[in-house]
Amino acid sequence: MSVIRSAITGVGSYLPEEIVTNADLAKVVDTSDEWIVERTGIRQRHRARPDQPTSDLAVEAAKKALEDAGRTAADVDLIIVATTTPDMTFPAVASIVQRKLGTGVGIAFDVQAVCSGFVYALSVADGFVARGMSKCALVIGAEEMTRLMDWTDRTTCVLFGDGAGCVVVEPREGQGTAQDQGLLGFALRCDGSKTDLLYVDGGPASTGTVGHLRMAGNQVFRHAVVNIAEGITATCEVAGVTVPEVDWFVPHQANQRIIKGVGDRLGLDENKVISTVAEHANTSAASIPLALDAAIRDGRIKRGDLVLLEAMGGGLTWGACAIRL
């Protein structure tokens, strides 16, 4: 049976120039390179310039993804930006990206599911592309998490960084099997009873300020391993594939110990797990497309591979997506 699949035809990413090392942060708060590396795997993070808003990072990633897909801005009819750090409360970062890229009138909006935002946004794009409402979509994860840090709180400020990643999504005909190129299945979840474990203590309709990120880290950690493992298993079932068949796992990059914990729980081959947490730290919705792009650029992930993306973050939200590249 012939079906329309949403295929990823291009990938690109962008990291701001400034690198902040653990040693740099040890001058700001009572921490050490040793503690950060041992507890998280993070060695450095990138930080955007004060005059460089989230939309600028998104635009740079989008340009690279369009070039990779052999498309131009004129082809784009849908832009979805997953972000929790918009330039302004409104308009959406996607609207600003549309203007800066010069794509012309089309559909553009943001998705807010924090660190799970990219996986959520991909599922939304799938709805448009597979129903014939978009011929060329940009799905972007773009974040400036450093703007949300309380630089006196060592339990959070060492964990996050800035960056953006983008995929181009276009329709491709498939046979309705797991061999088709494209997005094969999703599992998305939110447990709103746990909003108090990870949140920003500000907003336009509460304090009227931007606020700072607050996290009960070790409680989030415990949920992360269990939830992500469940999300992966559920996604494989929906996609009609088995966990051992997956060629590459591209996890949200929050903590190397979480990535390892999920791997151990599911018996994953660690050589199949992409990790960029050491270089990028936690870039929230940007972390998955940044890691995907890094592994495609260095030749590990190739066309035709079965790739599983997974994430978890504030909300608590979590989810996964199986893709035949």
Q: Which residues sit at the interface with ligand UT7, rule CB under 6 A? A: 31, 35-36, 39-40, 115, 154-155, 158, 217-218, 220-221, 224, 254-255, 258, 282, 312-313
In angstroms, the CA 87 to CA 50 distance is 11
Whether 282 is catalytic is: yes
Catalytic residue (choose from 22, 227, 255, 282)? 282
Whether 166 is catalytic is: no
Tokens read off for 21? 């090392």
CB of 26 to ligand UT7, least distance (A): 8
**Choice between 24 and 247, CB closer to ligand UT7:** 24
DSSP letter for each residue of 189-218: EE-GGGGGGEEES-BTTTTSB---EEE-HH
In angstroms, the CA 213 to CA 90 distance is 20
Residue 27 C-alpha from the chain's centroid: 29
For residue 91, whether the previous peptide bond is cis, meaning omega lies within 30 degrees of 0, is: yes
**Choice between 98 and 283, CB closer to ligand UT7:** 283
Catalytic residue (choose from 46, 136, 227, 252)? 252
**Choice between 55 and 256, CB closer to ligand UT7:** 256
Catalytic residue (choose from 115, 136, 157, 236)? 115
Q: Which residue matches tokens 């994860």?
A: 141
Our CA angle for 204, 201, 42, nearest 5°, is: 120
CA-based radius of gyration for the chain: 18
CB of 287 to ligand UT7, least distance (A): 8
CB of 221 to ligand UT7, least distance (A): 4
Tokens read off for 271? 């050589």
**Choice between 171 and 313, CB closer to ligand UT7:** 313
Q: Which residue's CB atom is positioned nearest to ligand UT7?
A: 217
CB of 22 to ligand UT7, least distance (A): 9
Whether 115 is catalytic is: yes
Indicate which residues carry an active-site annotation.
Answer: 115, 252, 282
